[in-house]
Structure 1
Amino acid sequence: MSLSAFSDYLSLEKNYSKHTVLAYQRDLEMFQEFLNETYDSESLDKVNYPEIRQWIVELVNSGVSNRTINRKISSLNSYYKFLQKVGDLESNPLKRHKALKVGKKVQLPFSEQELKQVLETAIEINDFESARDQLIIELFYATGIRRIELVNLKLSDIDFSNNQIKVLGKRNKERYIPLIETLTGTINSYLNFRNELPIINDKEFLLLTKKGLKIYEMLVYRIINKYFSKASSKAKCSPHVLRHSFATHLLNEGADLNAVKELLGHTSLAATQVYTHNSIAELKKVYAKSHPRNRR
């Protein structure tokens, strides 16, 4: 079975982008080159797991990251599954393969000083867009909601009488998050500008474009990146970093881990524990400064 048939399958049936298809092709061609050099032109279709394992060892010894190796093996696995689907292969040589362990990247949150700089000095509120941008930043930092959750917020989700908002999370699970006083004021300020828009098409949604349409995820990312790239030296200035900052700063101030889990909409405590890395660092500072045996 030629690689071109597999590429056609990825393009036409799986509807993968041209860039993705080329990435699959490069991975398979690289493995074929390894087979040519090591096993004297053995075919991709005929290999067994030991040959693949040897390629993995060579990649590791060459300094290729586990994450990249896993991606290359995933390309191979897709190819062998395709061969099984069309009846050209009985058994997938990767059926018992286990992916290499990949360490989780620790994502540093924005500092409280960076947040203060953006929230207090970066935006001069004088029109609809500036009021909306301010609200988006405050919503992320005051509630920790996800970007898609923010995009889908409706006017009816804001409960001023009980100072809370309703958020529709993953798997359509609802949760309620308290509104702090400053955020309530920012929402009201934004709504005043929103009411002055000449046309509002998506009336039920809270956050809109200046054309009165529901805001979209890429615009939200651009807004966050626009303001925080000026205040922070971090390579990544995204909505998720703001969500990370919300959780980390709460934990640094002594918030209960289970309470933060509920606010974030996590189903398991393990997902929330990712945010304790920086909190533990902060705890060590407090411990070193406060413990009686350390004050001598």
Structure 2
Amino acid sequence: MDLFFKYLQYEKRYSPHTLTSYHTDLGQFAGYLLQTYEITDAAQADHTIIRSWILSLVHQNIQPRSINRKIACLRSYYKFLLSQQRIAVNPMLRIKAPKVSKKLPAFVPEESFNQLLDSFEFENTFEGQRDRMILEFLYGTGMRLSELIGITKSDIDTYQRTVRVLGKGNKERIIPINDSLWQSIEAYLQHKKTEFGNNNSEKLLVTTKARPLYPKFIYRVVKKYISLITTSEHNSPHVLRHSFATHLLNKGADLNAIKDLLGHASLAATQVYTHNSIEKLKSIFEKAHPKA
């Protein structure tokens, strides 16, 4: 398993979040093998044993999406064992993943979010300007939470007004910075310099103790402000990523351009946003088509 995780980290370049999830999943599977079958080596498990583990997860009311992630972990693991000649046959070839009902991405209405940014008076302090910039960054670029935390000051091109983002699989992309976000960045950096001087962290987003921000902190900030404009339970940082894509699509942006901005590997992942925009598309059709 140690070799497997080194392979994922250094050759496949999986994200730290995925590595942590896979560590948990494989650990649970290994515990099940030991407790149920007294098997200490996962290479000895066949497809019937793997199916029994999946069935036990179903009986525990684990969500199909989570089960599918665990299955994906085992697929990668047994494929690795096969390449290392630890097994002769891949038992995962006979395993089918449970179907997952597709949910439409939740998003914040454009008018509501703009009203928050335009009407809410963020304090003219380091913390207040940092909170505003977090919201502006997530909504104005569509980047993931992990990507936002990883941004450094050198990733921001002040001349081109762009930000360099390191996404999944260490794939780099460049995202333009809009005027509103740019003003927030300038205000925040000024407060940051006043607060910490020139010896502050290279990371763009920091705490009041100049330490890099962490995921739970961003979650709290986003939840605090999004709760002011919606009663929906969907108020995580990812909702702003969904809002970014949905609003762009509603304004007529090209789907391939949105795909590149989001850092999706395939267009299929981006196409889910078209479902949110179907009413907008109907409206455009009715106004534009001569037979509508």
**TM-score under structure 1 normalisation?**
0.69
Match of 2:118 among 106, 120, 140: 120
Matching of residue 204 in structure 1 with residue 198 in structure 2: no
Tell me the CA shift for residue 51 of structure 1: 11
Higher relative contact order (CA closer than 8 Å, sequence separation 6+):
2
Compared with structure 1, are the counterparts of its residues 187 and 147 closer, same or farther at alpha carbon in structure 2 (3 Å cutoff)? same
Compared with structure 1, are the counterparts of its residues 24 and 122 closer, same or farther at alpha carbon in structure 2 (3 Å cutoff)? farther
Compared with structure 1, are the counterparts of its residues 251 and 219 closer, same or farther at alpha carbon in structure 2 (3 Å cutoff)? same
Asked if the contact 2:246/2:276 (under 8 Å) is kept, the reply is: yes
Asked if the contact 1:201/1:213 (under 8 Å) is kept, the reply is: no
Asked if the contact 2:193/2:200 (under 8 Å) is kept, the reply is: no
Matching of residue 150 in structure 1 with residue 148 in structure 2: yes
Tell me the CA shift for residue 124 of structure 1: 2.1
Match of 2:260 among 259, 262, 265: 262
Matching of residue 190 in structure 1 with residue 188 in structure 2: yes
Tell me the CA shift for residue 190 of structure 1: 0.7
Which residue of 2 is the match for residue 277 of structure 1?
A: 275
Tell me the CA shift for residue 267 of structure 1: 1.9
Which residue of 2 is the match for residue 87 of structure 1?
A: none
Asked if the contact 1:200/1:211 (under 8 Å) is kept, the reply is: no
List per-residue Cα deviations over 1:11-34 (Å, max 9, x = no partner).
Answer: xxxx99xx989x879x99xxx9xx
- Aligned residue pair count: 263
| One-letter amino acid matched to 1:273 | Q
Counterpart CA distance in 2 for 1:161 and 1:91 is 55
Which residue of 1 is the match for residue 9 of structure 2?
A: none
Which is worse superposed, 212-221 or 191-200?
191-200
Counterpart CA distance in 1 for 2:154 and 2:90 is 52
Counterpart CA distance in 2 for 1:247 and 1:93 is 39
Asked if the contact 1:266/1:272 (under 8 Å) is kept, the reply is: yes
Asked if the contact 1:202/1:214 (under 8 Å) is kept, the reply is: no
List per-residue Cα deviations over 1:262-290 (Å, max 9, x = no partner).
Answer: 11112211121122211223212332355
Compared with structure 1, are the counterparts of its residues 97 and 292 closer, same or farther at alpha carbon in structure 2 (3 Å cutoff)? same
Which residue of 1 is the match for residue 227 of structure 2?
A: 229
Compared with structure 1, are the counterparts of its residues 67 and 136 closer, same or farther at alpha carbon in structure 2 (3 Å cutoff)? closer
Asked if the contact 2:259/2:267 (under 8 Å) is kept, the reply is: yes
Spell out the pairing of 1:61-76 with structure 2 (5 A cutoff).
none
Asked if the contact 2:25/2:70 (under 8 Å) is kept, the reply is: no
Matching of residue 172 in structure 1 with residue 170 in structure 2: yes
Which is worse superposed, 222-231 or 199-208?
199-208
Asked if the contact 2:105/2:276 (under 8 Å) is kept, the reply is: no
Match of 1:218 among 196, 201, 216: 216
Counterpart CA distance in 1 for 2:138 and 2:245 is 11
Spell out the pairing of 1:80-95 with structure 2 (5 A cutoff).
none
Q: Give the structure with higher Rg (CA).
A: 1
Which is worse superposed, 235-244 or 273-282?
273-282
Match of 1:136 among 130, 134, 137: 134
Counterpart CA distance in 2 for 1:69 and 1:171 is 22
Tell me the CA shift for residue 257 of structure 1: 0.8
What SS does the aligned partner of 2:277 have? Answer: helix
List per-residue Cα deviations over 1:105-137 (Å, max 9, x = no partner).
Answer: 212211112212321233423210110010010
List per-residue Cα deviations over 1:35-75 (Å, max 9, x = no partner).
Answer: xxxxxxxx999xx9899999x99x99xx997558869999x
List per-residue Cα deviations over 1:236-270 (Å, max 9, x = no partner).
Answer: 21111101100110011000111111111122111
**TM-score under structure 2 normalisation?**
0.70
- What's the C-alpha RMSD, in Å, of the aligned pairs? 4.4
Counterpart CA distance in 2 for 1:284 and 1:204 is 47
* Structure 1 unaligned spans of 5+: 1-14, 33-42, 78-89
Which is worse superposed, 239-248 or 192-201?
192-201
Matching of residue 161 in structure 1 with residue 168 in structure 2: no
List per-residue Cα deviations over 1:157-182 (Å, max 9, x = no partner).
Answer: 11121121111222222211111112
Compared with structure 1, are the counterparts of its residues 211 and 259 closer, same or farther at alpha carbon in structure 2 (3 Å cutoff)? same
Matching of residue 97 in structure 1 with residue 110 in structure 2: no
Tell me the CA shift for residue 214 of structure 1: 1.3
Counterpart CA distance in 1 for 2:247 and 2:234 is 18
* Structure 2 unaligned spans of 5+: 1-19, 40-45, 76-87
